A and B are shown apart, each in its own frame.
Chain A
Amino acid sequence: MKVCRRSFLSLIIGGAAGTVLSPLPLKLMDDSSIWSQAWPWTPVPEDGEVSHVGSICTLCPGGCGITVRKVNDRAIKIEGMKGHPVNNGGICVLGLSGLQLLYGPTRVKTPLKRVGARGEGRWEKISWDEAIAEVVKKLGELREKGKSHTVACISGTDRGTVAQLLGRFLTVYGSPNFIRIPSIQDSYELTMHLMQGVQASAGFDVENADFVLSFGSGLIEGWGSPVRMIKANSKWKERGKVVQIESRLSNTAAKADKWVPINPGTEAALALAIANVIIQKSLYNADFVKNYSSGFEEFKQMVLNEFSPDDVSGITGVSASTIESLAKGFAGSSKPLAVCGRGHGETPGSLNEFMAVHALNALVGNIGKKGGVWTVPDPDYIKWPEVEMDRTAANGMHKARIDGAGSKRYPDTRYLLDRLPNAINSGKEYPVEALFVAGANPVYTIPDSKAVKEAFNKVPFVVSFSSYMDETAVNSDLILPNHVFLERYEDVPTPVGLQKPIIGLSKPVVKPQFNTKHLGDVILLMAKSFGGQIAKAFPWDSYEVCLKETLGNKWDKLINDGFWADSNFRPVVWGGAFNTPSKKFEFVNKGKAESIKIEGDEKAYPLILMPYDSMRLASGFIGDPPFVIKTVEDTVLKGKEIVVEVNPRSARGFREGDQAILSTPKGIVKVRVHHFNGIMPGLVALPRGLGHTAYDEYLADKGINFNELIGPVEDPVSGLNAAWGIRAKLTRA
């Protein structure tokens, strides 16, 4: 028998015939195509039971209610809570991306202790017991040496049980240095205090206003409670008028009924010129002015003498006829409202400006009226027993605050964080030996980043409670990570700018994903460790117990609805609203009404650099999650380079897209140039919110931090940062 080529061929042919008659080729083809459609690295999200949990978003002071959709244990979508008094179903781009913060790589997953030099990014994982013990040890040492006052705490807010627990701890420990991060809230509180004699926030009845005169406020760009303001804007579109006074065509200016371009920094003068016209033409509310105000005569004299429309038009660049028509429009409306505080409202601003604008509100008598400015009393639901201080604590509390707030120079201001770096660096005050940071990212947000870093380096012990690896956490010695807002119970009192007091309840939507601990619980554990008077001031076993007790009979409504609103709240009528020495609204005139001078010599720096804020760039204590940074246009960020806006007329040879060097007295950076017809010639605009160096690769190293290019300018009366810009120049790259 010969096995030859033919047999081999016939074997093959037979095999082929059999294969074709078998299901193998078809099945294999079908299966291979399915296999190629299902690579193991393409996730297949698990299905399951859908449930909804209501909570509050705390990524900004807006306090929107949220409804989180879950599938089994996973949170899959954050949506606005329908029926919530702040946002009624709406939600912003940052709130929508909250899950990326909950589940993402920026999370600090366990307590960390620094290894190596600060900022190197090397950490040792430690247990909660060790972490708290270390903090208590350091604090105990300082206390024994009589240095309890050298401990400072920077907090995002001073309201709500957690902030109050922090403040209470500092008090009973013996330090006066509880410092809230700065914002226009500082200026508005001071304005309320000086002109109305009340310790309260300014609330704005925006939903009912029919003529909104805005001095640079980013009404639809994140000022106040962002979603609420955008909703109000839609109402104004239907019945109302918005006038935006701003040097740049922001979104607010573009959507406004009238945009009034103004020379930057001259807003106070414009406000007083409008007051001039209102007074001259007797358009003011005579009843209010005559019967419920004091100091009107001096105010009238100053305004008529120094702020005529013709005088002011030269300074501001706004024509006298425009000023007159603004005054007539404003005072002639039934529900006018004037607001100020630039952009998001993160810089406190010039007190004169705030008082001038508030004076306009007083002139038209909208204080406490529909569509006007309401005084919203500080929340009073936290009724804890007074702390009993021991001697160390009492001694410490008697020392002057490190930031100069409440001092002879700035007697009425409560917090002055922007002065802290200088206070530490100058060495003129006592040194800060320990610094705690909660709900804030001061290394990124305080102006003059160089001075801030220097100050941080001088503080030997820095503790961050951040849930994320932000710039402050990177530069600290210990990180005791708090739960993310979606993992914790917390009360969220009245959001900024809301005209009625409400309390929101943030609820845990998912179990804590990592080894984090509620800041409230950490404070209680620290206090217990200390024992003595300190422990006595905190009689609760856990934060949840403390919260439930504090909220008392409001708890059930809060759990069911997510918020509690005082349905009986009405703004106080004029007769009883003012607690000034005269018991009337005071047209205060503190110091000369000068505009704030910005840093820099005009010859060396012929341009003016101003920041601008946007909904798509979070510039507070949270940095943009990946979804939000994705929405940033390529005329703002190109690759890793930040883009500045320059009017083509002052672009001086820089073509669209060219690289340039931007220098200010505080810093030098490389940028790209974008020609924008919406910005006044002579100005350069740079967005806030970029230039992060921490967080994760989706955000870090993109663009420039505006705070590297500017330093604080102290308001002469309040001490608050009133810098609205800084002189700059653009040179070839």
Chain B
Amino acid sequence: MKEQHKNTKAKKYGMVIDLDKCTGCGACMAACMAENNVPFKKDESNKLDSITWMRVYSLTNGKKFPEADICYIPRPCMHCEAHNGHAPCVSVCPAVATDYNHETGIVSQIYTRCFGCRYCMAACPYHARYFNWWDPVWPDGMEKYLSPNVSPRMRGVVEKCSFCFHRHQLAMNKAYVEGRRELEEDEYQTSCTQACPAGAIVFGDLNNPGHAVNQIAKPDHKHGGRPMNPHAFRLLERLGTNPKVYYLSSREWVRRAGDNYIKDEGKQGNH
């Protein structure tokens, strides 16, 4: 794929999530679950085994009433590039069930290769990976709404956000039938992006200066993808995972909450 398409540059699909607009409504979580045949249990209050590829965390500024403040952070898989595709989870998988694709920047997860050692879960600093402790159960006819575009998983495998790659596959199908190889920005959008009522999530090609994600986040590809937009930040930037999900916030405490600092360590962690 690489050598053939010398005319087409490699893509780097990523996201920008505007935390000022995010209302914490959880629509992105439900959209992802509905799109990707994510299972559900009777009791989902134990968040350690609740499978939510997209999860909305709530951060607080730690101050007392009435200075308290909350911010909601939707967290999909970061599709870390790290150094040349050596994402933490990819580096440790003994079965090559997960791999970093240089053409699209997406970290794939192949359920049929995974044998559930969960090493990748330990490696992922974002807790973006989830394990199927049990076989999924779709009660009483609910399996009728399952999408044929995503394989339902059995117990014993790890799953995670795939940036709705099946939508990329289907969009490419349409492109091929029309005789082209390039996709327009709106032809491949993830389910969470599409559903977000606030329009807080933007998805596209970070390498393409015409795409909104590039224009908003202004990733500096020479410096590990750090965002040049002063309001933008990435989670755990300093781990060097080079994640593809950028966040925007006008509140400084939120930007600082995105990484771990020693007390009084220099402000503006992304510079």
A76, B195: Cα distance in complex, Å: 15
**Contact among A39, A71, A104 for B148, CB-based, below 8 A:** A71
Closest to B70 in A: A254
Q: Is A569 an interface residue (CB 8 A)?
A: no
Q: Is A226 an interface residue (CB 8 A)?
A: yes
Query: Number of residues in B with C-beta < 8 Å to the partner?
Result: 62
Q: Is B44 an interface residue (CB 8 A)?
A: yes
Are B66's CB and A259's CB within 8 A? yes
A639, B46: Cα distance in complex, Å: 7
Q: Is B206 an interface residue (CB 8 A)?
A: no
| A559 → B minimal CB distance (Å) | 24
Interface string of A38-51 (1 = CB under 8 A from B): 01011111111000
Interface stretch of the complex, out of B5-13, B35-43, B227-235: B35-43
Are A47's CB and B47's CB within 8 A? no
- With A616-B25, A677-B60, A677-B64 known to touch, is A230 a contact of B197 (CB < 8 Å)? yes
Q: Is B269 an interface residue (CB 8 A)?
A: no
With a cutoff of 8 Å between Cβ atoms, the chain B residues found around residue A381 in the complex are none
| B122 → A minimal CB distance (Å) | 22
Are B42's CB and A698's CB within 8 A? yes
Interface set, chain B 219-254, CB cutoff 8 A to A: none
A616, B40: Cα distance in complex, Å: 16
With a cutoff of 8 Å between Cβ atoms, the chain B residues found around residue A41 in the complex are 135
Closest to B28 in A: A93
Q: Is A31 an interface residue (CB 8 A)?
A: no
Interface set, chain A 33-78, CB cutoff 8 A to B: 37, 39, 41-48, 71, 74-78
Are A627's CB and B139's CB within 8 A? no
Are B25's CB and A37's CB within 8 A? no
Q: Is A278 an interface residue (CB 8 A)?
A: no
Are A77's CB and B147's CB within 8 A? yes
Are A630's CB and B52's CB within 8 A? yes
Interface stretch of the complex, out of A304-312, A573-581, A678-686: A678-686
**Contact among B24, B35, B47, B143 for A251, CB-based, below 8 A:** B24
Interface set, chain B 11-50, CB cutoff 8 A to A: 18, 20-21, 23-27, 29-31, 33-35, 37, 40, 42-47, 50
Q: Is B177 an interface residue (CB 8 A)?
A: no
Are A43's CB and B143's CB within 8 A? yes
**Contact among A91, A104, A251, A639 for B197, CB-based, below 8 A:** A91
With a cutoff of 8 Å between Cβ atoms, the chain A residues found around residue B47 in the complex are 633-634
Interface string of A99-116 (1 = CB under 8 A from B): 110111100000000000
- Tell which of A43, A513, A679 has the most Cβ of chain B within 10 Å: A43
A639, B68: Cα distance in complex, Å: 27
A78, B144: Cα distance in complex, Å: 13
With a cutoff of 8 Å between Cβ atoms, the chain B residues found around residue A45 in the complex are 37, 143, 146-148, 152
Are B70's CB and A105's CB within 8 A? no
Are B152's CB and A44's CB within 8 A? yes
Closest to B31 in A: A96
| B250 → A minimal CB distance (Å) | 9
Q: Is B63 an interface residue (CB 8 A)?
A: yes
Closest to B195 in A: A91
Interface string of A249-292 (1 = CB under 8 A from B): 10100110001010000000000000000000000000000000
Interface string of A621-648 (1 = CB under 8 A from B): 0000011111111100111100000011
Are A103's CB and B144's CB within 8 A? yes
Are A677's CB and B23's CB within 8 A? no
Are A104's CB and B141's CB within 8 A? yes
With a cutoff of 8 Å between Cβ atoms, the chain A residues found around residue B21 in the complex are 233-234, 237
| A600 → B minimal CB distance (Å) | 23
Are B25's CB and A230's CB within 8 A? yes
**Contact among A89, A93, A231, A680 for B65, CB-based, below 8 A:** A680
Are A97's CB and B30's CB within 8 A? yes
Q: Is A691 an interface residue (CB 8 A)?
A: no
- Tell which of A91, A102, A230, A648 has the most Cβ of chain B within 10 Å: A230
With a cutoff of 8 Å between Cβ atoms, the chain B residues found around residue A237 in the complex are 18, 20-21
Q: Is A87 an interface residue (CB 8 A)?
A: yes
Closest to B24 in A: A251
- With A45-B37, A220-B25 known to touch, is A630 a contact of B143 (CB < 8 Å)? no
With a cutoff of 8 Å between Cβ atoms, the chain B residues found around residue A221 in the complex are 23, 25
Are A634's CB and B27's CB within 8 A? no
Interface string of B127-161 (1 = CB under 8 A from A): 00000000110111111111110001110000000
- Tell which of B40, B45, B58 has the most Cβ of chain A within 10 Å: B45
A697, B25: Cα distance in complex, Å: 24
Are B152's CB and A638's CB within 8 A? no
Are A105's CB and B56's CB within 8 A? no
- Tell which of B72, B136, B147 has the most Cβ of chain A within 10 Å: B147
Q: Is B196 an interface residue (CB 8 A)?
A: yes
Are B135's CB and A42's CB within 8 A? yes
Are A630's CB and B33's CB within 8 A? yes
Q: Is B183 an interface residue (CB 8 A)?
A: no
Are A77's CB and B34's CB within 8 A? yes
With a cutoff of 8 Å between Cβ atoms, the chain A residues found around residue B147 in the complex are 45, 71, 76-77
Are A104's CB and B31's CB within 8 A? no
With a cutoff of 8 Å between Cβ atoms, the chain B residues found around residue A71 in the complex are 147-148
With a cutoff of 8 Å between Cβ atoms, the chain A residues found around residue B72 in the complex are 251
**Contact among A74, A93, A681 for B30, CB-based, below 8 A:** A93
Interface string of A589-608 (1 = CB under 8 A from B): 00000000000000000000
- Tell which of A76, A261, A630 has the most Cβ of chain B within 10 Å: A630
With a cutoff of 8 Å between Cβ atoms, the chain A residues found around residue B65 in the complex are 249, 261, 647, 649, 677-681
- Tell which of A42, A615, A627 has the most Cβ of chain B within 10 Å: A627
Q: Is A493 an interface residue (CB 8 A)?
A: no
Are B23's CB and A627's CB within 8 A? no
Q: Is B208 an interface residue (CB 8 A)?
A: no
Are A627's CB and B25's CB within 8 A? no
With a cutoff of 8 Å between Cβ atoms, the chain A residues found around residue B46 in the complex are 634, 639
A632, B44: Cα distance in complex, Å: 8
Q: Is B198 an interface residue (CB 8 A)?
A: yes
| A236 → B minimal CB distance (Å) | 10
| B74 → A minimal CB distance (Å) | 11
- Tell which of B50, B153, B196 has the most Cβ of chain A within 10 Å: B196
Are B45's CB and A48's CB within 8 A? no
Are A616's CB and B26's CB within 8 A? yes
Are A97's CB and B34's CB within 8 A? yes
A259, B191: Cα distance in complex, Å: 32
- Tell which of B52, B145, B191 has the most Cβ of chain A within 10 Å: B145
Q: Is B104 an interface residue (CB 8 A)?
A: no
With a cutoff of 8 Å between Cβ atoms, the chain A residues found around residue B35 in the complex are 77
User: Can you list the 7 inter-chain pairs with the closest CB atoms, starting with the nearest?
Assistant: A90-B197, A220-B23, A677-B68, A45-B146, A105-B140, A47-B148, A615-B25
14 additional A-B residue pairs with CB within 8 Å, beyond A39-B135, A230-B198, A233-B21: A42-B135, A43-B152, A45-B143, A77-B145, A79-B195, A93-B26, A94-B30, A99-B145, A105-B140, A234-B198, A251-B23, A631-B26, A631-B52, A649-B65
- Chain B residues near A (Cβ < 8 Å): 18, 20-21, 23-27, 29-31, 33-35, 37, 40, 42-47, 50, 52, 56, 58, 60, 62-66, 68-72, 112, 135-136, 138-148, 152-154, 191, 194-200
14 A–B contact pairs at CB < 8 A? A41-B135, A42-B153, A71-B147, A74-B144, A91-B195, A93-B25, A100-B142, A105-B140, A220-B23, A227-B197, A230-B197, A616-B25, A630-B29, A696-B139
- Chain A residues near B (Cβ < 8 Å): 37, 39, 41-48, 71, 74-80, 87, 89-94, 96-97, 99-100, 102-105, 220-221, 226-227, 230-231, 233-234, 237, 249, 251, 254-255, 259, 261, 513, 615-616, 626-634, 637-640, 647-649, 676-681, 696-698
